[in-house]
Structure formats: C-alpha cells, structure tokens
Structure 1
Amino acid sequence: MPREVRERQMCDAAVRVFARRGYSAASMDEIAELAGASKPLVYLYLNSKEDLFGTCIRREAEVLLAAVRAAARPEDPAERRLWNGLRAFFAHTAEHPEGWAVLSRQARSHGEPFAGVVAELREGVVDVIVGLIEEAAAVAPDAPPLDGREASGLAYALVGAAESLADRAIGAHGPDGLGGGAVPSAREAAETLMNVAWVGLENLVSGRRWPAVREVPSGG
C-alpha cells in the first residue's frame, strides 16, 4: 500500500480516537488497531502521538478552509459568496463532526502549537469574509466609507457565531452522531447568520448605525 494512503488511514483513525477519547486519553494502540496497522508502523510514519495530533489538526483545518474558499466562487456577487461559504462551512462540519470536534475542542484545550493552527484557520476564514464585506460596501450606491475596524469586527463576530453553531451541533449529536437534540441544518444555520450579518451590513453601508448611548452618572 502506498505510504500516503497508509498515512491517511492512520490520520482518519486518529481523528476518530482523539474526538472520542480526547488527546490525553487517546491510545496509540487503539489508533493503530483502528487503522489496521501495527503500532511500530504508526510511530515510524508519524513519529509520536504529539506529531500525529498536530498532523490531524493541520489536515482538518486545511480541508475545512479549502471547502469554504472553494464555495466562495469569485465570479459570484459578494452576498452569494458569503452565503455559499457559510453553507459550505456548516455542511463540512456536519459531515465531519469528528474532525470539527478535534479542531474546536481538543486543539484549543492543549495550547501551543495546536491552538495556533486553529487560530490560523480562523484568520483565514475572517480574511475571506472581510474581503466580501469590503467589496459589498464598495459597490453599494451612495454608501459612506466603511471603517476597516467595522468590517473586521463584523467578520470576527460572524466567524465566532458560526463556530458556536457548529459546536452546538456536535454537542447535540456527538462526534459519532449518536447523541440527540434539535439543531439547525447547514442551510438554516447559514440563513440565521446571513440575517444577522448581511442585514446588519446593509444598515452599515446605508449609514444606519446603532446610536451610541452614554451612561449618565448617577445624580448628574
């Protein structure tokens, strides 16, 4: 069997074990058995449990980001690209719950360098969304200039909300799909965020903003 195929099988098995057991409790014996390989071969190909964990995180992050970028086709208008990107994000995390569980839970809880990979994933998605927001604002008729901080803040809020909805789905169904609970579909989750983000963006580019309310000191 080609080495790349064998390594992919090992990573697939490792993602399942890490998602179910957690990094600390995951056993290289269980990973090797699930992959249909010997433990010495797993060590030979992927060096250590820590290296294997890092490989899994990087792979899952790259695949997810690629799915979002591929869905946001450059020939589509900005709002369609954001819609397609959000649907791709939720569809991918729903189809790969174990991969998302490893990214959203295990990687973040074990610090560097694992958390850094997840941070890079988030920055990649944020960059895509900021570009779409700025493009939409630029072509809006008679729109006032959109502050870069507003575009960035809206993008981070949107990504954070998307991550929370994906986490909710994993929490309801479990990484192995055996749990229970009502969660939105990929389309419903994307619609929710579009209603919040795009409607809010339309207000921003039209000059309609939430009025700043200053607190009045007591007794003054």
Structure 2
Amino acid sequence: MGEVKSKRMPRAVRERQMLDAAVRTFGRRGYRGASMDEIADLAGVSKPLVYLYLNSKEDLFTACIRREAAALTAAVRAGVDPTLPADRQLWEGLLAFFTHTAENPDGWAVLHLQARTTGEPFAAEVHAMREEIVTFVTQLIGDASRAGRRDRELPLQEAAALAEALVGAAESLAAWANTTPGVPARQAAGTLMNFAWAGLGGLMEGRPWTPPERAQIPVAAG
C-alpha cells in the first residue's frame, strides 16, 4: 500500500496563521520594525508563501488592521443588549471593549498605536473603525436620552460630542491598562463607568451641569 498523503491545510486556516503572526509582530515591533522573514518564521511558513497569500507588507498590515478592527467593533456590538436600561447598556459595552482589548493586546497596539503613527492609508483604516464605534455610542446615548428625558431629547450634536469624549477616554484607558500590571478589564470598565455615568446619569435625568456665570468686570469711571 502506498503512503497516505496528509491533507493540505485549508487556505483560510493558513491565512489566519499568517495574520496571527503578523499582528503579533506588528503590534510589538511596529510596521517599519517588523520583517516579513520574522512573520513567516512565526507562522511556520516560507516568506514566498506569505507574499503569495497576502501580496506585500503593506497589504499584510492593512489586512491585520481590518481584521482587528472588525473583531473589536463586533465584540462591542455583541456585548450590548438593547433591552437593558441605559446604564447597563453602557456598562456592558465598556466591559466588552476592555475585555477584548485586554485579551488581544497586540491587536489593540496595531489599531491604537502602530496604524495611527505609520501614516496613510493605515490611519484612514483605523479612522473608519473608530467612526463606526462613535456612531454606535452616539446612538446608544441618544436612545438613553429618549428613554430617560421626558422634557426634551438630547440634541444629536451633543450626543455625538459625548460619544467622541467617551470613546477617546476608553481608548486612552485601554492603552494604559494594557501596559500597567494588575489592571483587569472589569476594573478599567468600572473606572470609566464611574467617571462617565456620574455626569451622563444626571444629564439623562434632565440635571445637566452648567458653568457659572462669568463675573462682570466693573468699568472704572473715566
């Protein structure tokens, strides 16, 4: 009897291995510091095979950004149950975000640090992902406003501004948490929830903070 030939690995599985290796390498070394040789070695394939599957280093980096961005946005969306009260929705979304970034630190480094600092077209890919998350959070805040405010609905521009601020804070806190030992995802999410909801909760109930009136400066008699 002849030898039984081993089955070839499916293309999707092989490509996932290459992307896993690339995300790890790009996340730790940056786009310019990463080499295709190192990525191929880590994936257990030849460098020509990486080029065959993913064309170029630029295309490979773009594929990593898109995959990690899609995974992050999917995790946040899946974490939010729209039937829950507004505070629970925000909490679940933040917990999903921080859990995903903590479990995928190299992917988060690719999105938050490497792609943004390498220049176009990579920064544009991350910007598109961020806009999707901001839009989702804007909708969440708007829905919470409609549910909690009987007098009037929170203006869209104000909801969008709050979403920008919240997403920016989450990004910065995730970057800090991933480089600070002993900060679990739940703690990071709780920190931002306490920081944000103390203000958002009052706003949803029609009790916004207002700045003090500017003091009038007396005009000296001439």
Return the offset for 1:79: 2.2
The residue aligned with 1:90 is 98
TM-score normalised by L of structure 2: 0.88
The residue aligned with 1:197 is 196
The residue aligned with 2:211 is 211
Letter in 2 for 1:67: A
Distance in 1 separating the partners of 2:58 and 2:208? 50
Distance in 2 separating the partners of 1:215 and 1:194? 34
Distance in 1 separating the partners of 2:40 and 2:173? 33
The residue aligned with 1:108 is 116
Return the offset for 1:170: 2.7
Distance in 2 separating the partners of 1:117 and 1:136? 29
Distance in 2 separating the partners of 1:31 and 1:202? 47
Matched positions, count: 211
Structure exhibiting the larger radius of gyration computed from Cα positions: 2
Q: Does the CA-based 8 Å contact 1:83-1:190 persist in structure 2?
A: yes
Q: Does the CA-based 8 Å contact 2:134-2:164 persist in structure 1?
A: yes
1:47-77 deviation digits (Å, cap 9, x = unpaired) = 0000000000100000010000001123323
Partner-residue secondary structure (3-state), 1:86: helix
Distance in 1 separating the partners of 2:185 and 2:139? 23
Please tell me whether residue 67 in structure 1 is matched to residue 66 in structure 2.
no
Letter in 1 for 2:209: R
Please tell me whether residue 38 in structure 1 is matched to residue 74 in structure 2.
no
Letter in 2 for 1:169: A
The residue aligned with 1:144 is 152
Partner-residue secondary structure (3-state), 1:23: helix
Q: Does the CA-based 8 Å contact 2:86-2:144 persist in structure 1?
A: yes
Q: Does the CA-based 8 Å contact 1:154-1:197 persist in structure 2?
A: no
Q: Does the CA-based 8 Å contact 1:11-1:56 persist in structure 2?
A: yes
Return the offset for 1:100: 0.4
Unaligned runs of 5+ in 2: 1-8
Cα distance change on mapping 1:219 and 1:109 into 2, 3 Å: farther
The residue aligned with 1:131 is 139
Cα distance change on mapping 1:146 and 1:26 into 2, 3 Å: same
Cα distance change on mapping 1:168 and 1:139 into 2, 3 Å: same
1:188-216 deviation digits (Å, cap 9, x = unpaired) = 22122222222212222314322254376
1:99-146 deviation digits (Å, cap 9, x = unpaired) = 101111110001111111111121111111111111111122534331
Distance in 1 separating the partners of 2:49 and 2:86? 47
The residue aligned with 2:172 is 164
Unaligned runs of 5+ in 1: 173-180
Q: Does the CA-based 8 Å contact 1:67-1:88 persist in structure 2?
A: yes
Q: Does the CA-based 8 Å contact 2:80-2:89 persist in structure 1?
A: yes
The residue aligned with 2:34 is 26
Return the offset for 1:218: 9.5
TM-score normalised by L of structure 1: 0.89
Q: Does the CA-based 8 Å contact 2:177-2:188 persist in structure 1?
A: no
RMSD: 1.9
Distance in 1 separating the partners of 2:144 and 2:173? 25
Letter in 2 for 1:210: T
